[in-house]
Structure 1
Amino acid sequence: MSNYFDSQLLYKLSNYHDPAFYWTPKRVFKYALGTLSVLVVCGIIAFGLTSFIFLFIPDLDSVQGSVASTKFAAKPPSCSKRIIGYYTEFESIDVTKNQLEKLTHAVFAYIEMRWDGKIQFKSEKTKNRFLGLKRKAESVKSDVKVMISIGGEENSQFFAPVTADSDKFKTFIESVSNFLDDHQIDGVDFYWKRAAETDKWHYISMLRELRRKLKDNKNGHKDYIISITLPAAGIENWEVAYDLDQTLEFVDFINVFSMDFYGPWPNQWGTPAGPTAPLYSGVGARKNFNIDWTMEYYVCKARQPSKFNIVVPFFVRLWKNVEGAVENGKEVYRNAELKDNKVEGNSYMSRQTAQREGFSLKNSTWDEPSKSSYIFDSNAKTYLSFETEKSIEAKKKYVIDMNLGGFWVWTVDMDDDKSSMLNSLTSNGFCSGKNDETLKYKC
């Protein structure tokens, strides 16, 4: 409307000296009245729009405050104990929102460590699985913390040379810090597998310098989480690589690798077949290969039970060519035949894979001394070790009775399609318990 009247005015002015056009008092009054009418109409429209806005949005500040409070409102924790779920780069099953809402921490394993100290995604698939986990975690109702894990069986070889070289060490600390900041996640877990006693002080230096770096680079983020995974105690003296007192100054919690006491390894150590993560019991030279012995060792040294978490393996373990019991009365431990000096089987099989390959996980046998479930098929000569609702209940009672911090799960994406194991882990009031630092072990 304004453009139209402006063009008309320009037209009239351009014709001011036209002999055919002359200003008269009548024409001046006419155009002045028209301009005034336009201004009045525009004023009425502006007043009406303003009234409409304030009628339906009475307090814009309160709306903005509401949006801000929604964005930054703290979500409720899913459990008073830790339930840390690892989610891997190599499984094909995606984690679900329902699973994430039951976890306190979701840890992506693994981010690759390079020879020069930099960390990176191993592949595009790895990156996409991580980003998918992060997106889902951001949308759940609970306050699940997202972390990454570095190291493990296939990528621990660079820890020693990187932490021993000042330039590579600095690069590593910077790379980890930048990754957490770039992806806006909550922390990092280290699993330096087979660290030696000579690596002890380099390990401590790594944790101390990373903690210092993360404190300096918070950028408004609350405190970052640092955790480590410790090996089971009493096996080839792996535990001598760690100084627990100093470690606990820089980490938030410790996941103990309290499993793999028995496995169908491709060597002579693959026999006997036995429970993957027994609470108690053992046989022969492996009499101390159980959760209780390992946890007593670590907790008695550290004297902070709530800092430690035990593992619950969600996978199924299979031995083939299995025969009689190692000892009378210990049927859960059975001899496995060696072929070419190794055992045949499958060390890590998801529950869904086991079902697809025709293995039923129903009608398991319960071993009371070890608090473990297993299935031995004498006709097929197969032996399956796996967790059941009964074995998980025993582990939950143990964590509560011994005032431990909670569980870590290897791995969430190895559960069945109903999340049966994760549901068992979070049921029956486990998450409503209180933490206590009272030592229950006979140290």
Structure 2
Amino acid sequence: MKISALCIVSLGLSLAVFGDAAKQHEHHNKHVDQHHHHAPKEHSHREKHVNQHNQHNQQADHSHHKKPQADHSHHKKQQQQANHHKHADHSHHMDAESIPSKPYKDGGHHEYQDHKEVSHEDFNKDFEEHPKPSDTVASPPTFASPPTAAGKEKMVVAYWTDWTSSVMPPESIPFDKMTHVNYAFSIVGPDYRPVFETDYLLNRVVRAAHLKGVKVMMSIGGWTGSQYFSPLSASRRGRQTFVNGAIDFVKNYNIDGIDIDWEYPGRMGSACNIYDANNDAKNFLLLLKELRAAMNQLPNGDRLEISLATRLLPFDGPDGIMRDVSEFAKVVDHINVMAYDINGPWGSVTGANAPLGGEGELTYANGAQAWIDAGFPASQINMGVPFYGRSLTTKVDMTTSQSMEAPFSKPVPVGDSNDALWTDPCEKEAAYSGVWKYKNLREQGVVDQYGRARAPWIRKFDRESQTPWLFNPSTKQFISYDDKESLRLKVDYAKQKQLGGVMLWALNQDTSDFELLEVLQGIHQ
């Protein structure tokens, strides 16, 4: 998603972030799967999520990461999309050294004191309505909207990134194991119109998904793709331009809704982002209401959905974290909470990438409860899980330690076989993501099919966070990740709290037989 990617990755949940122009492959390779995304200590969606791609031909299509982190994009259409690809896989959906992590002005691990809020008045004074692109769009598919899938009352929302189509083409997506597929990403540029360049892939995803009764959502934004959400939401014309673009997606491609991946309303998030701490949340609600009204005017408007990829805790308002987000729940069908990228290279000690429980407010359980306490119905909340882990090099030997916390050194070590040096367009410093896709933990012989570590790696399970971690005594490399055991616990929690379901960043990070996705099917039992 997620992901951040972040990255995300991409990063996605990239670093996910939480995406977007899949034709700029050279940029995609730098992507980090991350997706999607998060809160002072949370980082980063679909990230947005963070898997970086190092070989163009490995995942050629793609790129944004959680948007590519594709989340993003900052300037001219081509450049925007190119930058997205650099995103980490969403999450997401990042770095740190590669991920501007914890990019919050208040706290966090990176301080961006030299970044100032940008005036909406200044930003919008020269803004003019951007005409609809003249380039021809593929004829809209003629297949029908999906019927309601039997036995899928609970949601399983899966992020699929267009830059991974060479390794996971649309027809190979395991639609029988999900209720929604979020197509990542479309990006928003300075003209405020969402764009993407892989309509040929989207048509195939929609066709295959609808045959299995699965809904397709277009994910817009991401870690870097959120740069212009603040000013566009503050402008009547900006909101209208965005809404018109989103409605065009729905009409031209027969998709089932829009997933907005604005990861940090009221906070900077990525270092390039424009934000307004006092008004972002209020303006975001206006945007969502106008999008909902426009959708309701369509023939199938009652079946169209709006979802949000959100950070772990509720949005920020003028007085800090909002205590009441119930108005959002009236216009949004569900939120996908990016409960990952909580600890990483932006911190001072190692910790769980995606803790279920434990001390502090930044955990999967506390995040779910925080949204519920703020008035968002449990049945409309999907808690996000990562199909990737994050690595760091510790300063001490953790062989006999029972604690996940240890001081670490920089730079971030290279992650799995897909990791590579990449440059966040907002950070300008090339770095590794340190991300390990779960499938590569398996394929590169770090863990076996039973979840056991293979020498020289040592596996431990942290009882506080309820997540596994790995340590290599010879290299002092530490990896925090999720596996089948920890995901079962998260699914059980979602069922106990009667949540809407679960979200994952991202499909390409699972094994070829979808070991982790299979665990998420427990939400239906």
| TM-score exceeds 0.5 | yes
CA, structure 1 residues 259+185, in 2 after alignment: closer, same or farther (shift >3 Å)? same
Q: CA deviation at 1:316?
A: 2.7
Equivalences for residues 18-417 of structure 1 within 5 A: 74-77=147-150, 79-91=152-164, 92-94=166-168, 95=170, 97=172, 99-121=174-196, 123=197, 126-140=198-212, 143-196=213-266, 197=277, 198-216=279-297, 218-220=298-300, 222-233=302-313, 240=321, 244-264=325-345, 269-282=346-359, 287-302=360-375, 304-321=377-394, 323-324=396-397, 331-339=403-411, 346-355=433-442, 359-360=446-447, 362-363=451-452, 364-417=459-512
Residues 99, 422 of structure 1: 8 Å contact kept: no
Partner of residue 516, structure 2 = 421
CA, structure 1 residues 407+81, in 2 after alignment: closer, same or farther (shift >3 Å)? same
Residues 227, 251 of structure 1: 8 Å contact kept: yes
**Which structure carries more helix by proportion?**
1
Residues 471, 477 of structure 2: 8 Å contact kept: yes
Which has the higher Rg, Structure 1 or Structure 2? 1
Q: CA deviation at 1:253?
A: 0.9
Aligned length: 346
CA, structure 1 residues 75+215, in 2 after alignment: closer, same or farther (shift >3 Å)? closer
User: In structure 2, what is the Cα distance between the partners aligned to 1:388 and 1:72?
Assistant: 34
Partner of residue 23, structure 1 = none
User: In structure 1, what is the Cα distance between the partners aligned to 2:296 and 2:202?
Assistant: 24
Partner deviation per Cα, 1:172-222 (whole Å, 9 max, x = no partner): 111111111110010011121221132121101000011011101x22454
CA, structure 1 residues 274+90, in 2 after alignment: closer, same or farther (shift >3 Å)? farther
Moved over 6 A (4+): 70-73, 234-239
SS of the residue 2:433 aligns to: strand
Give 5+ residue unaligned stretches, structure 2. 1-142, 267-276, 413-428, 453-458
Partner deviation per Cα, 1:268-318 (whole Å, 9 max, x = no partner): x24322221111114xxxx33211222222111216211111111012322
User: In structure 2, what is the Cα distance between the partners aligned to 1:360 and 1:344?
Assistant: 26
Q: CA deviation at 1:159?
A: 0.7
Residues 151, 191 of structure 1: 8 Å contact kept: yes
SS of the residue 2:174 aligns to: helix
CA, structure 1 residues 223+339, in 2 after alignment: closer, same or farther (shift >3 Å)? closer
Amino acid across the alignment from 2:167? I
Residues 323, 374 of structure 2: 8 Å contact kept: no
Partner of residue 108, structure 2 = none
Residues 232, 258 of structure 1: 8 Å contact kept: yes
Residues 321, 344 of structure 1: 8 Å contact kept: no
Partner of residue 63, structure 1 = none
User: In structure 2, what is the Cα distance between the partners aligned to 1:351 and 1:96?
Assistant: 22
SS of the residue 1:190 aligns to: strand
Q: CA deviation at 1:131?
A: 3.1
User: In structure 2, what is the Cα distance between the partners aligned to 1:160 and 1:72?
Assistant: 32
Amino acid across the alignment from 1:226? I
Amino acid across the alignment from 1:335? P
Amino acid across the alignment from 1:148? M
Partner deviation per Cα, 1:38-67 (whole Å, 9 max, x = no partner): xxxxxxxxxxxxxxxxxxxxxxxxxxxxxx
Give 5+ residue unaligned stretches, structure 1. 1-69, 433-443
User: In structure 1, what is the Cα distance between the partners aligned to 2:465 and 2:192?
Assistant: 42
Residues 77, 104 of structure 1: 8 Å contact kept: no
Q: Tell which deviates more after alignment, 189-198 or 330-339.
A: 330-339
User: In structure 1, what is the Cα distance between the partners aligned to 2:160 and 2:146?
Assistant: 26
CA, structure 1 residues 71+349, in 2 after alignment: closer, same or farther (shift >3 Å)? same
Residues 316, 354 of structure 1: 8 Å contact kept: no
Residues 187, 225 of structure 1: 8 Å contact kept: yes
Partner deviation per Cα, 1:240-281 (whole Å, 9 max, x = no partner): 3795111011001111121111123xxxx2432222111111
TM-score (norm 2): 0.60
Q: CA deviation at 1:104?
A: 0.7
> Percent of pairs identical after alignment?
23
SS of the residue 2:374 aligns to: helix
User: In structure 2, what is the Cα distance between the partners aligned to 1:192 and 1:243?
Assistant: 19
CA, structure 1 residues 345+331, in 2 after alignment: closer, same or farther (shift >3 Å)? farther
User: In structure 2, what is the Cα distance between the partners aligned to 1:309 and 1:100?
Assistant: 18
CA, structure 1 residues 117+241, in 2 after alignment: closer, same or farther (shift >3 Å)? farther
User: In structure 2, what is the Cα distance between the partners aligned to 1:110 and 1:237?
Assistant: 27
Q: CA deviation at 1:387?
A: 1.5
User: In structure 2, what is the Cα distance between the partners aligned to 1:72 and 1:311?
Assistant: 26
